[in-house]
């Protein structure tokens, strides 16, 4: 979700009974290109929680998207696009 003019908050929660062996990212994008922030690897079962507020740099403040990717990189899931 958008927190302010250039800040985005991304939340992931693991509600399963196993560890989620994935990588979690936030990607800021705009006219200057894009920047990917590596947030965390793995979420513990039942209560594993990731909450992070990222300030997207100038020129990369049009939109952001959250990404969960398997460690092998073969599968990825995306949050809805967040307009900044």
The length of the chain is 84
Q: Is the pLDDT of residue 39 over 90?
A: yes
Measured between alpha carbons, how far is 82 from 22 in angstroms, rounded to an integer? 21
Q: Quote the tokens at residue 6.
A: 């250039």
Quick one: pLDDT band at residue 32, thresholds 50, 70, 90? Answer: very high
Q: Is the pLDDT of residue 4 over 90?
A: no
Quick one: pLDDT band at residue 47, thresholds 50, 70, 90? Answer: confident
């Amino acid at each position: 979700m958008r927190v302010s003019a250039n800040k985005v908050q991304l939340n992931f929660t693991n509600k399963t009974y196993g560890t989620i062996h994935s990588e979690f990212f936030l990607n800021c994008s705009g006219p200057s290109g894009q920047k990917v922030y590596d947030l965390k690897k793995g979420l513990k079962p039942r209560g594993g929680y990731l909450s992070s507020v990222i300030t997207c740099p100038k020129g990369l403040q049009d939109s952001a998207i959250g990404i969960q990717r398997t460690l092998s990189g073969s599968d990825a899931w995306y949050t809805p696009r967040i307009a900044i």
